[in-house]
Amino acid sequence: MKKKFIFPALALLTGAFILAVTGCATVNPYQVATRESSGITSLAQNETKSQARVMYEEARADGYTGGFVDFLKEIGISADDSFSVGSALLSAVEVYAGFERQSATSGLEAYRIVGSGVIYEKNGGDAYVLTNYHIVYNASSSGRETIPHISDNISLCLYGGKREAQGIAAEYVGGAMNYDIAVLRVENSKELLESDARAVTVADSDGAAVGERVYAVGNPDGKGLSAVGGILSVEAEYITLTAADERTRLSMLEMRTDAPVNHGNSGGGLFDAEGRLLGIVNARSEKEGVEHLGYAIPSNLACAVAQNIIDNSKADNSRGAMRATLGVTFDIADSRSEYDEASGRTLIKETVAVQSVDRGLAYEKFKTGDVIRAIKIGGGAEKQITRFHMVTETMFRVRRGDEVTFTLERGGKTVEIVLSFQNNDDFKLFK
């Protein structure tokens, strides 16, 4: 949560982070290790972490499908938490948003909101940074900003870099209040260019499972970037929040973690064992008697919204996210848990069905009771729909001009419907 914000809600906007372990090997990592060194014992004693990482990448190229921590364990190296957090810190930033408000005694007074962010894209001294909307929007400000209540004075600090007043200047690209996501841009920063900072690697949040080790990296209480650990308590649930405008009530998709989340963690990353982004921390419960309830927006949704904002900023400067619409209301027809023997994980599977069809692209094409099995955008990969929230996330990836194929189950038969999203009316703007 940002340092100043107080929300009268079930959960307050703040933050959290996740650790995942993946896969089984098709290539024996022992063979890779012995090929590169005189033996496992020698490697464990003498090779540095960076050399182990190089060996891991070579093993991946040879067909190894496990994660980095799995690889280390299998070749006899003890992996501490620094393996997971090290790369995450290089994609993390502190975020400071300056505002002015009217004071009853002294006219306009300056104040700032403190939060966190992650580097989403980086090219030399240029970057896009992902953070929470409620960090850069403040309902209590004077409203005299270029965009009312959006900060005109945003700065970032890298891990180990210059702090606060000497930070890196950033500008607001766009945001979506209903999804608590905002995108910032940095241009021609010498500090960023010369740093080891890197763009975050994004994990598939739909593959996360309860019980995974997690890490929240953020800027608690404005004290600078730090990391805390916990486990993933719930991989996907909807919670009720009050939005940044302090009026709108939202039902938001979240991951839940017991990692300690504090004011200032908002916008920071939730990372897995590989240092990959699993979520964007944005909330915690502050109900009396309740502890260790932190929340993060799953990375699949957060990044779909962020990329949508970036693409729109280049096309029409809408400063928002355009979600494709169907005129269809979906519901969960069935929900169950399934145990995966191979991975040892228990996952939830949902049957997503059409509840009603209003006027829109899908009118007279979708029918009540249709079960949606998959969505494919253009010539891209087909997205299997096994959870209710996957529909929303996928629709944020649709762009004007796309043809989208929906695979439905109707009366025991498979039906494919292709819809073409050509008009502005086929999209809804969130900003």
| Predicted local confidence at residue 289, as pLDDT | 66
Q: Is residue 84 a contact partner of residue 69, using CB atoms and an 8 Å limit?
A: yes
Q: What angle do CA 164, 86, 25 make, to 5 degrees?
A: 150
Rounded-to-integer distance, Cα 320 and Cα 307, Å: 10
Rounded-to-integer distance, Cα 271 and Cα 87, Å: 10
Asked whether the domain spanning 321-430 has the same topology as the one spanning 1-20+80-319, the reply is: no
Q: Report pTM.
A: 0.85
Q: What is the CATH number of domain 1-20+80-319?
A: 2.40.10.120
Residue among 340, 116, 26, 332 nearest 211 (CA): 340
Secondary structure class of 194 (helix, strand, coil):
helix
How many Cβ atoms are within 10 Å of 105's Cβ, its own excluded? Answer: 5
Partners of 296 in the β-ladder? 255, 281
| Predicted local confidence at residue 45, as pLDDT | 38
Rounded-to-integer distance, Cα 162 and Cα 96, Å: 13
Tens digits of pLDDT across the chain (431 residues): 544 333 323 345 553 222 222 233 334 433 433 333 333 333 343 445 567 778 888 888 888 877 777 777 777 676 677 877 988 999 999 999 999 998 878 788 999 999 999 999 999 999 999 999 999 999 999 999 999 999 999 999 999 887 655 789 999 999 999 999 999 999 999 999 999 999 999 999 999 999 999 999 999 999 999 999 999 999 999 999 999 999 999 999 999 999 999 999 999 999 998 889 999 999 988 776 667 789 999 999 999 999 999 999 988 878 999 999 999 999 999 999 999 888 788 999 999 999 999 989 999 999 999 999 999 999 999 999 999 999 999 999 999 999 999 999 999 999 999 999 999 999 999 99
Domain assignments of the chain as residue spans, ordered by start = 1-20+80-319, 29-79, 321-430
Rounded-to-integer distance, Cα 320 and Cα 313, Å: 8
| Predicted local confidence at residue 12, as pLDDT | 52
Q: What is the CATH number of domain 321-430?
A: 2.30.42.10
| Predicted local confidence at residue 11, as pLDDT | 45
